[in-house]
Amino acid sequence: MPSPPVPSKKPPPATKPPAIGRYWRANLRLMGILLAVWALAGLGAGVLFADYLNELGSLGGFPLGFWFAQQGSIIIFILLILIYAVAMNRLDARHHREMAEQSRGSSR
């Protein structure tokens, strides 16, 4: 007869400090906002609103809708990368401070 299965001795799941949850929520919120801006700039300004932008005028001799489709979305994408890097540096610094405070508080 086969022997009964041996229950595995898994360690209990570790609880995450609240600072980690706040960090990831802020990170996901920032990424969501920046992705929405990128989608509006790339798809909205370059494709969906191109006719309206073309009526507004031109930039460098090219219709504004064409300019956004070719150049504007790339420039906005690069600016969003810069904004993300700066915002994440600030968020990381705040997170490190919170984690240091938690470790000082738990070691007492």
Q: How many domains does the chain have?
A: 1
Residue 74 predicted with pLDDT over 70: yes
In a domain, 88, yes or no: yes
What range does the domain containing 62 cover?
A: 32-106
CB count in 10 Å sphere of residue 69: 19
With cut-offs at 50, 70 and 90, classify the pLDDT of residue 67.
confident
Spatial distance between the Cα atoms of 102 and 105, rounded to a whole number of angstroms: 5
- Taking the CA atoms of the chain, what radius of gyration do you get in angstroms? 24
Does 50 fall in a domain? Answer: yes
Using CA atoms of 59, 63, 66, 70 in order, give the dihedral in degrees to the nearest 10. Answer: -20
CA angle 34, 39, 41 (to 5 degrees): 95
3-state secondary structure of 104: helix
* 93 occurs within a structural domain: yes
**pLDDT digits 0-9 by tens, 76-107:** 999 999 999 999 999 999 999 988 888 887 66
